[in-house]
């Protein structure tokens, strides 16, 4: 059993389904935490994780995701949450021309034995020309993964969960957990 700290139910559901396929139980610690503004998702996540160490007992992890749009020089990146809640997907669409390349980056920070371990992964793709699909959350309606014809929001949740940035970072964490008996059996 390992704690996952997030206020986002979508993230919890996605990760819970990945972990249960490996027979690892996660306990949802449903709480919002402070996020500093910094240049990289790794720095933001590391800072939040360190702050939570004084509040949460035992091993726990959290995750932060950013959308990096190539023709916008990586914007919104670490500002993704702010941009999503201000200009939103329509605002993103209005900023783009022909070059629509983008990627998601997920960083998972694990607090274990007072240390912080980070696991990160990306999903490359393009920004669609209009919002499409009802599934998922955040930028899913405007993100088409490389090699796919649909936005993440048009896919069924299992498909997103097979190919996503979050999935690939979670698999790295799961590999780590499997090498640590204490985490496996906690
Ligand atoms: P955070 O990781 O919660 O800070 O997410 C930053 C922003 O990216 C928020 O607006 C989320 O809604 C969005 N976001 C996070 N993960 C995903 C995802 O898997 N798909 C689409 N948008 C996401």
**N- to C-terminal Cα separation, the chain:** 5
Does residue 185 register a pLDDT over 80?
no
pLDDT digits (tens, 9 = 90+) for 79-129: 999 999 999 999 999 999 999 999 999 999 999 998 999 999 999 999 999
Nearest alpha-carbon partner for 43 in 118, 125, 130: 118
Does residue 162 register a pLDDT over 70?
yes
Please, what is the average pLDDT of the chain? 95
**DSSP SS3 for 132:** coil
- Alpha-helix residue ranges (DSSP H) falling in the chain: 9-20, 41-52, 80-86, 88-94, 157-163, 165-178, 181-185
| Residues forming the active site | 64
| Pairing label, strands 101-112, 60-69 | antiparallel
How many A from CA of 182 to the centre of ligand 1? 31
pLDDT digits (tens, 9 = 90+) for 127-158: 999 999 999 999 999 999 999 999 999 999 99
Domains with residue ranges and CATH for the chain: 2-184 (3.90.950.10)
- Binding site membership of 160 for ligand 1 (Cβ less than 6 Å): no
Most ligand 1 atoms within 8 A of CB, residue of 139, 154, 157 to mutate: 139
Does residue 183 register a pLDDT over 90?
no
Strand partners, 104: 67, 123
The pTM for the full model equals 0.94
Percent of the chain past pLDDT 90, that is, above it, reads: 91
Q: What is the pLDDT of residue 37?
A: 87
Burial class (CB in 10 A: 0-12, 13-18, 19+), 101: middle
How wide is the angle at C-alpha 92 spanned by C-alphas 100 and 62, nearest 5°?
Answer: 95
pLDDT band at 67 (very low <50, low <70, confident <90, very high): very high
- Binding site membership of 81 for ligand 1 (Cβ less than 6 Å): yes
Q: Which two tokens stand for residue 143?
A: 């993100």
Strand partners, 120: 107
| pLDDT higher at 162 or 181 | 162
Q: Please say whether the beta carbons of 56 and 28 come within 8 A.
A: no
């Amino acid at each position: 059993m390992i704690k996952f700290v997030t206020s986002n139910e979508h993230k919890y559901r996605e990760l819970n389904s990945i972990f249960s396929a490996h027979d690892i139980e996660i306990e949802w610690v449903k709480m919002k935490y402070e996020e500093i503004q910094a240049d990289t998702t790794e720095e933001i996540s590391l800072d939040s994780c360190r702050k939570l160490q004084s509040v949460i007992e035992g091993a726990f992890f959290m995750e932060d995701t950013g959308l990096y749009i190539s023709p916008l020089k990586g914007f919104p990146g670490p500002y993704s949450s702010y941009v999503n809640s201000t200009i939103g997907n329509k605002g993103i669409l209005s900023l783009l021309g022909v070059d629509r390349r983008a990627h998601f980056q997920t960083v998972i920070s694990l607090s274990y034995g007072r240390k912080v371990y980070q696991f990160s992964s990306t999903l490359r793709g393009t920004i669609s020309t209009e919002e499409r699909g009802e599934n998922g959350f955040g930028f899913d309606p405007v993100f088409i993964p490389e090699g796919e014809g649909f936005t993440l929001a048009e896919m069924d949740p299992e498909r997103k969960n097979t190919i996503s940035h979050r999935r690939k970072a979670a698999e790295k964490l799961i590999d780590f957990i499997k090498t640590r008996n204490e985490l496996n059996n906690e």
